[in-house]
Structure 1
Amino acid sequence: MALIYSHKLVNTIERDDLYNLEAKLKEERKHADAKSLYYAGLFLSFAGKYEKSADYVNKSLRKDPNNLDAVILKAYNDMYLNIDMHVTIQDCLELVLSKNDKNVEGLLALAKLKYLLKDHDLSNLTLDKLIVHYPREVVPLIEKLKNEFATQRWEAVYDTIERVLSLEPTNLEALKIRIFIALCKNSDYIEAVDQLNTLYTILENEETQNGYQFYDIAQTFSKICAKSSTVVSQVYRFAQYAFEMYSSNVEYLSEVGYQCILQGKYKDALSFFKAASKIDSNSITALCGLTLCQMSDNGPTDQVAQQVELLFEMQGTNKFSILYLLSAQLHTKDATSYLNKAIDSQLSKANTHPYSLTYIKNLDPEFLLNVYKEYKKYLPKKPLVITSYLSYSQDENNVSVEKCLILLKTITDACPGLIPALHDLAKLQFQFGLPFEAEKLALHIGDMDNTHAGSQVLLAQIYIQQQQFIKAAQCLEMCLSYNFKVRDSAMYHFLNGVILKNLNQAQDALTFFTTSLHILNNKNNIGTNKHIDDFNIIDKATLYLQMIELQTVVGLFGEAGKSLQEAIQEFSYTSEENRLLIARADIALRKTDIDTAIDTLNEVKPGQPYYFQAHSKMAHIYLKEKKDRGMFTNCFKEIVSNHPMADAHTMMGDAFMSIHEPVQAAESYETAYKGNPSNIQLVKKLGVALVKMHEYEKAVQHYENAIDQLDDDELRFEYLELLLKLKQYDKVDSVISSQLNQPHNKERDTPSLKRRIKLLLTQAKSRDLKNSANTNLILSEAKDLQNAVLKRVEIDSKGDVQEEKEMLSKIIYLLSKVKAVKEPGVAAGLLSEALMYSPRNPDTLFALAKLYAQMNNPEKCEQTCGVLLNAEPNNESAAVMMADLAFRKGELETAQRHLSQILSVKPTSWEALAQLVEVQWRRGKISEVDPIMEQARLTMGKQEDPEYSYCEGVYSSYQGKVNAALRQLNIARRSQRCAGAAAKRMVLLCLSQHAQDSLREDDTRILALRTAEKLLVEVNTSERKGLHALLQLASKQKSQAERVLQELLPYVSEEGTQDDPYLILAIASAYNIVKQPTRAKNILKRTIASMTWTPEKADGLERCWLEVADNQINSGRIEAAKELLAKVLTHNKSCIAAYQYLGYLSEKDQNYKSAAHNYEQAWMHSGKSDLSIGYKLSYAHLKLKKYPECIVVCRHILKVHPDYPKIKKDILEKAKSNLRT
């Protein structure tokens, strides 16, 4: 039997030998036992002769029904003959396994049955039993590999290939799948060529006589390599080897001919097909090849048509798909019908197999792409450059378009890395209303091959439609950097022109349009950039009209008229004729002839091309030029009434949104959505409209329904963002947790990893908003996954490495924020790691500087801020922090320089302005703040900002304008950032007012205390205790003082709380009230000895110093008091109390010159509001015989307080008298 088969296979002419062998076989069959019949059936099954095999197996089983091997072989034959008998086949195999549940062949057969039924998980469960028991056996692993390949679980496929090749390095199935992955998953043709070369060497050494294996490999890989010259030339070797081994095999010979066609060598192909037809004149394969060659040489002739008709007759019911394609090229009227048959025939042939290399070979992606190339000619014309008024389509869903989308989707599902198919699908999706799907595919192509010019041009076209012109320009720049030939492309110049036009660079745009038109009209350039220059009549008309529009914009009305005449000649009596009317309306509009523009647009009637666009433009003329909202909406209602289709309702919805009518917009979008429920853009528009209406529950429900129907990631993330805005954090967490547990989100391919990372980051954001303690593990997982993505991108050289580094840096930055609370050292390490991936990231640098400040490491903080300011010289946060560092070191001039620099660039930097007010006050130069405050006011204009009010309030308080300060600080309480600080300052001002009025039990004093009590709850918790105690002591009652001591004394020993100067000040005041001054003095002394000055403690510590100085003066320790007061003035040159004490001491020593100087400083820094200081100053001037200065001060006091005691008689009159004499 084997000898007969081999004779037939090599087409031997030794008829006598063949006759003798067949006679002998007949004789043997008569006496064959069950075992012989089984082996005969086994051989026939291996040879693919399943019906004959079944005959032998049935005879074997009649002789020996208990032969389990025969039962299993019968199951195999039935599988391949009629899989619909799967129930019977399974019963048969279960019978075998019931007798021996470890029967290897039985288990393999059951796994194969499940595989053919496409139940791959159950098949793998069966195989896993074998793999566990026989871990060194390759066969179960190969079957498992086929299952994983069929489900496209690529990570599992990689792992299983490695496992198989570790056991058997020359395993052909594993090697072939590895080549497929390189070609059709990773689009790595260099790797594929290396692997093909390796496979060829293995076959040459180990399968020398196996011509079919060489032939099968050539057939499979030549159909999925996108005609890559390097791959095709490598694959050609396999076909050639098979032909040379069996030169009389028609199929092998014909395959070499088809390989020649793939290389464009039609003459060589013709010779091979002729040789094949001489061997077998009835070979349909060879005759089809001959017909293809004739079609290529002579075009669609009558002779070719007759040959195709003859070939149709020669075939049975299963026609060759290539004949339908040839028929479509020959009979253009019925082309779509033939093309549909070609597609259906090819798909039905492939679909008899699970997803496998056999499925791929039968699918023949290269042939299907040729079918699509022909089909494109019969699709509706659509623009690739979509400007504003081409954004809407008047077409209903087109059956041919749907067919082509399904076709290309089938190819790309089968070959996810076949770039020509992906590019064709992306272009088709973009042209027929699926721009977001097209964008995803184009970005995916860029990830696989960043040198692919076509995908970058398509992305630019998509971004132009979305009006993202900067992104479009970046795509074109990237495209040019990889492929300089695009400069010879009309589309490249056209797109650049559109981008520059919308970026208001009219003259440059006009130059690009002119160059594009020149290239387009130059016949020598046709075909040089086919993958980019896919111009049709619509795009050419758009080019003309864009150029005309720009010529009118720059005032070249003569040139615009000439261009319009050219366009009229080109497009008259075509589908684009009405666009010329729109262009004429544009020119009229530029000349401010509004009525002519409207009349011209009215010439485009319902049913005509561009009716939508003309009447949409007319609506906007009514709105913008005539301010007529009624006519604006009427125009869109008219469009919808004449064309009640989804796009018309979408257009009307957009119109209502543009005039802030979300309710009516939502109605229009809803109507459009019912007609086109799969349009993601529509889903988003309706969602936005519902949110604008504050119909949040409806919006949430809308997104949920759309996600259930479309399962789109973009919608899912928009839905999650909406939930975050609505503070539905538990729901966000639940949705994301559910998604993360989905099998497709556990895959290890790059897109799945990126999706999982995005979900994790959204979950972390949600939990952070609810409770930041729960994000550590989430962000750690996101970091690990992003690390894996980055490594893969770096190894594969596919995708933007820097973009992935930036994402990793961002994740590490987020993780550091979580760690910073309890583990600042770990957080600092993480931020340093983040800077390795994005060294100049301002957010990371500032966070690290802030963390160093928190860790009390000013040197590193300053160093980090320096790096940040080198990267961004005008970085507000860094400049403020540098100023703060200088402030803490007492370098007030340095602090002032940093703050002034940032305010010169950004006058409304409130953080910098507030700190500058503080710094200048402590420098004793508060008056220099006035012009800066004025500049901030001018920059703000009429707007109000509570943060500015905070700065104004602080400024007023330092000028002694207490009431004005309270008013401004009260406004500042509205600011979330300033509220706590504003409340604290107001409390201190109220307490100081109370102290000034402590001799009077009037309403003002009581009101001040009540106000302070109410404000205290808004002060930060850590600062509240000391202020609350001071407020309690304001009554000077002994019982309150005792209560304060009882409450506060336990805190003095606790870590941290003794650093609150207000708390110490309150305890000292309480001791004084209960008549224990010694204890008051002691606690104050200990405090000033141990407490370090910081900006946060400055005010409270200053009050403690002044209290101690007062005690020292009272006890006669004058030098010690002076030393302490000098220390106060070192930190605050505007301290009024310190100047007063020094003035008093100088006055006591009768040093009136020094007294006058100190009182003068106190008087100026109080804003001349404290009249008691003025009195002392005037007295000092009198003693110094500075009578004019004395009189000036006296008059100021009397102007404010005409009845001020003693000053008129004791000082003013004496000064006047002495001045006269």
Structure 2
Amino acid sequence: MKYYYRDCLAYIFQTDSHLVCAPRSTFFSTVTNNTINNNVPVMSLKEQEFWANLFYFIREGYPHHAVEYAEKEQKKYSTDPLVKLHLAIALGNEGKLQDCIKHFSEIKENEEYALSCYVSLVTMSKRCKNYDSIAVKQYEAKIREIRRHASDMSLYYTALCLFLCQKYEKARDYCEKALKANLLCREILSLNGWIDLMSKDENLQKKAIRYFEDPSNDEEALNLQCLMGKAKYFQICNSVTSALDKINIAVVHFPTFLPALIEKMKLQLGAQDWDQAMDTSQRCLSIERTCVDAIVFQLLYLLCKTGDRNEGKRKVDELANSLDTSEPFSAEIYARNSRLFSTLCGREQTILQKLCKLAEKALSLAPTDSRYAVNMGRILVLQDRSKEAIRHFQMTLETSDSSVTGLQGIIQCQLVQGMLSEAGTQLEFLRELEPTIGKSAELSFLSAVLARKQGAPKQQVVNLLDEAFELHSKRCQNLQLGFDYFEALNVDFIVQLVKEYLYQAPQQPPASMWLPGACRRQE
């Protein structure tokens, strides 16, 4: 066995910086299933579902849901330090640093979990503005000490924590070291696959599938994490049918596994199968009545598919209640949903008023985050409350002197209020920054509005509108149909673009313009 591992290492790790994996048949062919079973513990379906739930909800940014789920199931796994490790990460991601440290302190004396605890404590501490630098230095010293003799599973747990903290490149380093120590551990292989899927490198994403294959070549083996990984891989590759095939296997064998149904619903939306996606969302809500993603889809269905704004108002209330129950401390989720639907509701004032409360909640949870101040300002602009909006945009300048989005919001309010000279000065400043920050659709649009109000030639205005439309269209080019697509699409922005184009349209069609007979005015 010793020589087998040495040969595998020589074959797989052909470069220092990246893992290059050979076909499975090359290096798994000499290993029997018994060898693999001795190295990798087999989990029951219920256990797989438990760990996959925790992994999914922390990864997808639902830490409070993960905490509640883990605490509910903790009686069954009360002696398992891995549960406490997940709990600590979820609490840290939720912003509850003291509770997070408490859970880490309970398991950091365990040799296999010590490294992951100290690495996570450094990561969590540095999220705070005024963290204890002396304590962090002590943690880092312990990391250097423990890392010299860390086992494969110790390295794996550290990579897992870093991954769930969205430190993907650092997670890769630890995961590759763990893989060098244990080539056949399915958990390590699967985590390496997830790290590649989260990478911005398309080449790594395309090769991630290799890590989700079963190293035992056992076709009957059912691994939930690998099924979910394969589904995500095919989704990234725009192969919706193949992704649905994998998800359906998970749904059949794990009928109460909510993440599989959520992903199935999103894939059906990506395939533009709205009605099937609606059915799946109902299944999600039958398992968990506060399932945020299911309610978000149903609101999307009402606003974009059926156009039922009256029912949409009720659904926004349901969404708000769901967020208050499922993720009451997540500023990002409140902000994301208010941002998405504020551009899709056609400026329906009742809906905007309800979404404004979500944006206010996000800002109250993270008052120093300029992104949430900008989001609040934009919703106020949609409500024709430009004087209040400008105060929120100005807040971003207090935290960052070069807040481009904040300045754009201020210019938009100045144009609404007829302050053309001030808007022109700010636009000129942003235009000078373009070589550094790049062009943006919003800046070109605001320039077009200012040019029109100042009486510039029509062609100049149209050229700026064309530029704004082209820049905006590029944002959606590589996005699949889904929540992110609709947010990037920003329907309200497109409507405002169309209105500006119409300002430049002639009042009457040119005399030489040919019209079909049916369209000609009958004398």
Paired position in structure 1 for 2:497: 371
- Over 3 Å counting, the alpha-carbon distance change for 1:8 and 1:267 in structure 2 is farther
Matched, 1:352 2:470: no
Query: How far 1:312 moved relative to its partner?
Result: 2.3
- Over 3 Å counting, the alpha-carbon distance change for 1:363 and 1:308 in structure 2 is same
Q: Which residue identity lines up with residue 265 of structure 1 in the other structure?
A: R
CA distance in 1, matches of 2:415, 2:146: 51
Match of 1:50 among 165, 168, 173: 168
- Over 3 Å counting, the alpha-carbon distance change for 1:4 and 1:158 in structure 2 is same
CA distance in 1, matches of 2:132, 2:441: 36
- Over 3 Å counting, the alpha-carbon distance change for 1:306 and 1:44 in structure 2 is farther
Paired position in structure 2 for 1:309: 431
CA distance in 2, matches of 1:245, 1:191: 29
Query: How far 1:48 moved relative to its partner?
Result: 3.9
Aligned 8 A contact 2:247 2:260 in 1: yes
CA distance in 1, matches of 2:175, 2:436: 34
Paired position in structure 1 for 2:103: none
CA distance in 2, matches of 1:259, 1:2: 37
TM-score, with length taken from structure 2: 0.68
Matched, 1:274 2:394: yes
Query: How far 1:199 moved relative to its partner?
Result: 1.6
Give per-residue Cα distances to partners, 1:548-594, cap 9 Å, x unaligned: xxxxxxxxxxxxxxxxxxxxxxxxxxxxxxxxxxxxxxxxxxxxxxx
- Over 3 Å counting, the alpha-carbon distance change for 1:466 and 1:381 in structure 2 is closer
Aligned 8 A contact 2:465 2:501 in 1: yes
Match of 1:322 among 416, 429, 442: 442
- Over 3 Å counting, the alpha-carbon distance change for 1:267 and 1:174 in structure 2 is same
CA distance in 2, matches of 1:66, 1:126: 23
Matched, 1:91 2:91: no
Query: How far 1:70 moved relative to its partner?
Result: 2.7
Q: Which residue identity lines up with residue 339 of structure 1 in the other structure?
A: L
Matched, 1:287 2:287: no
Q: Which residue identity lines up with residue 272 of structure 1 in the other structure?
A: H
Aligned 8 A contact 1:41 1:57 in 2: yes
Matched, 1:189 2:332: no
Query: How far 1:18 moved relative to its partner?
Result: 7.5
Give per-residue Cα distances to partners, 1:849-871, cap 9 Å, x unaligned: xxxxxxxxxxxxxxxxxxxxxxx
Query: How far 1:144 moved relative to its partner?
Result: 0.9
Query: How far 1:21 moved relative to its partner?
Result: 7.1
CA distance in 2, matches of 1:142, 1:183: 20
CA distance in 2, matches of 1:17, 1:216: 36
Alignment of 1:675-694 (within 5 A): none
CA distance in 2, matches of 1:166, 1:28: 50
Q: Which residue identity lines up with residue 180 of structure 2 in the other structure?
A: R
Query: How far 1:204 moved relative to its partner?
Result: 1.2
Aligned 8 A contact 2:122 2:136 in 1: no
Paired position in structure 1 for 2:273: 153
- Over 3 Å counting, the alpha-carbon distance change for 1:103 and 1:96 in structure 2 is farther
Unaligned 5+ segments in structure 2 are 1-118
Q: Which residue identity lines up with residue 299 of structure 1 in the other structure?
A: L
Aligned 8 A contact 1:312 1:323 in 2: no
Aligned 8 A contact 1:243 1:249 in 2: yes
- Over 3 Å counting, the alpha-carbon distance change for 1:140 and 1:173 in structure 2 is same
Match of 1:203 among 308, 323, 344: 323
Paired position in structure 2 for 1:299: 420
- Over 3 Å counting, the alpha-carbon distance change for 1:369 and 1:54 in structure 2 is farther
Alignment of 1:724-739 (within 5 A): none
CA distance in 1, matches of 2:399, 2:302: 37
Give per-residue Cα distances to partners, 1:128-170, cap 9 Å, x unaligned: 1111111122121111111101111122112111111111111
Paired position in structure 1 for 2:284: 164
Alignment of 1:139-150 (within 5 A): 139-150=259-270
Match of 1:66 among 152, 167, 184: 184
Paired position in structure 1 for 2:5: none
Aligned 8 A contact 1:254 1:286 in 2: yes
Match of 1:27 among 144, 148, 164: 144
Aligned 8 A contact 2:121 2:139 in 1: no
Paired position in structure 1 for 2:129: 12
Paired position in structure 1 for 2:11: none
Aligned 8 A contact 1:75 1:89 in 2: yes
CA distance in 1, matches of 2:295, 2:272: 16
Paired position in structure 2 for 1:222: 342
Aligned 8 A contact 1:305 1:330 in 2: no
- Over 3 Å counting, the alpha-carbon distance change for 1:38 and 1:348 in structure 2 is farther
CA distance in 2, matches of 1:147, 1:282: 39
Q: Which residue identity lines up with residue 273 of structure 1 in the other structure?
A: F
CA distance in 2, matches of 1:328, 1:58: 52
CA distance in 2, matches of 1:264, 1:327: 20
Q: After TM superposition, where is structure 1 displaced by more than 6 Å over at least 4 residues in a row?
A: none
- Over 3 Å counting, the alpha-carbon distance change for 1:270 and 1:205 in structure 2 is same
- Over 3 Å counting, the alpha-carbon distance change for 1:71 and 1:143 in structure 2 is same
Give per-residue Cα distances to partners, 1:754-806, cap 9 Å, x unaligned: xxxxxxxxxxxxxxxxxxxxxxxxxxxxxxxxxxxxxxxxxxxxxxxxxxxxx
CA distance in 2, matches of 1:326, 1:281: 20
Q: Which residue identity lines up with residue 144 of structure 2 in the other structure?
A: E
TM-score, with length taken from structure 1: 0.30
Aligned 8 A contact 2:122 2:140 in 1: no
After superposing the two structures, state which structure 1 stretch, 329-338 or 266-275, moved more: 329-338
Q: Which residue identity lines up with residue 188 of structure 2 in the other structure?
A: A
Say which SS state the counterpart of residue 269 (structure 1) adopts. Answer: helix
Matched, 1:82 2:201: yes
Aligned 8 A contact 2:302 2:309 in 1: yes
Say which SS state the counterpart of residue 213 (structure 2) adopts. Answer: helix
Paired position in structure 2 for 1:765: none
Paired position in structure 1 for 2:21: none
Say which SS state the counterpart of residue 328 (structure 2) adopts. Answer: coil
CA distance in 2, matches of 1:231, 1:43: 39
CA distance in 1, matches of 2:434, 2:518: 46
Give per-residue Cα distances to partners, 1:1151-1175, cap 9 Å, x unaligned: xxxxxxxxxxxxxxxxxxxxxxxxx
- Over 3 Å counting, the alpha-carbon distance change for 1:288 and 1:111 in structure 2 is same
Query: How far 1:50 moved relative to its partner?
Result: 3.1
- Over 3 Å counting, the alpha-carbon distance change for 1:3 and 1:325 in structure 2 is farther
Paired position in structure 1 for 2:106: none
- Over 3 Å counting, the alpha-carbon distance change for 1:133 and 1:238 in structure 2 is same
Aligned 8 A contact 1:4 1:21 in 2: no
CA distance in 2, matches of 1:21, 1:328: 56
Say which SS state the counterpart of residue 160 (structure 1) adopts. Answer: helix
- Over 3 Å counting, the alpha-carbon distance change for 1:291 and 1:60 in structure 2 is farther
Aligned 8 A contact 2:290 2:325 in 1: no
CA distance in 2, matches of 1:29, 1:189: 58
Alignment of 1:1075-1094 (within 5 A): none
- Over 3 Å counting, the alpha-carbon distance change for 1:46 and 1:369 in structure 2 is farther
- Over 3 Å counting, the alpha-carbon distance change for 1:293 and 1:165 in structure 2 is same
Give per-residue Cα distances to partners, 1:634-675, cap 9 Å, x unaligned: xxxxxxxxxxxxxxxxxxxxxxxxxxxxxxxxxxxxxxxxxx
Paired position in structure 1 for 2:105: none
Greater helix content: 1
Give per-residue Cα distances to partners, 1:275-327, cap 9 Å, x unaligned: 22212223332232223223333136541332322442452x5x443122223
Give per-residue Cα distances to partners, 1:503-522, cap 9 Å, x unaligned: xxxxxxxxxxxxxxxxxxxx
Aligned 8 A contact 2:184 2:215 in 1: no
Q: Percent identity?
A: 22
Alignment of 1:775-814 (within 5 A): none
Matched, 1:128 2:254: no
Query: How far 1:378 moved relative to its partner?
Result: 4.5
Query: How far 1:35 moved relative to its partner?
Result: 3.0
CA distance in 2, matches of 1:291, 1:268: 14
Matched, 1:104 2:185: no
CA distance in 2, matches of 1:57, 1:23: 19
Alignment of 1:1028-1043 (within 5 A): none
